Amino acid sequence: NAGVMQNPRHLVRRRGQEARLRCSPMKGHSHVYWYRQLPEEGLKFMVYLQKENIIDESGMPKERFSAEFPKEGPSILRIQQVVRGDSAAYFCASSPPGQGGEQYFGPGTRLTVT
C-alpha cells in the first residue's frame, strides 16, 4: 500500500505565477489535510477536505489560496499570484474515514518563489 504521495517534490515559481501542488492520499483514505511549514517554524494547519467537500479551511489565507479534493484524482492546493512569502514546504496528510483515523504525512512539496 503506497503512502501519501505529493508532487512535485520541488517547485520553483516566479512572483506572480501560479503554483499547483498535488496530493494523492493513501488507498482507502477519504480525508486530506494540508499544512504549511515556513522556515524554522512548525507546521500550520491550512485546510481539511473530504471528497468534493471542504470541511475546515480556517487556516487558509483569505486570498490567492484555494484547495479542492475532487471525486476522482488527487487533492490540489492552488496558490495564485505567488509572492516570496509563499516560499515554504507544503505537507499533505491523509486519514481513513471515521473520527479516530491516524494521519499519515506525505514527503512534502518545497515551493520556492524567486
Do the Cβ atoms of 88 and 37 come closer than 8 Å? yes
CB of 56 to another protein, least distance (A): 5
Q: Footprint of another protein on residues 45-64 (CB under 8 A)?
A: 45, 48, 55-56, 59
Of 19 and 43, nearer to another protein (C-beta) is 43
- Residue 8 DSSP SS3: coil
Provide CB contacts within 8 A for 52, sequence distance 6+: 69, 70, 71
**CA dihedral sign, ordered 74, 41, 43, 66:** negative
Do the Cβ atoms of 85 and 41 come closer than 8 Å? no
CB of 104 to another protein, least distance (A): 8
Binding of residue 101 to another protein (CB under 8 A): yes
Binding of residue 99 to another protein (CB under 8 A): yes
Residues in the chain, overall count: 114
CB of 80 to another protein, least distance (A): 24
Provide the binding-site residues for another protein, judged by CB under 8 A: 33, 35, 40-45, 48, 55-56, 59, 91, 93, 95, 99, 101-108
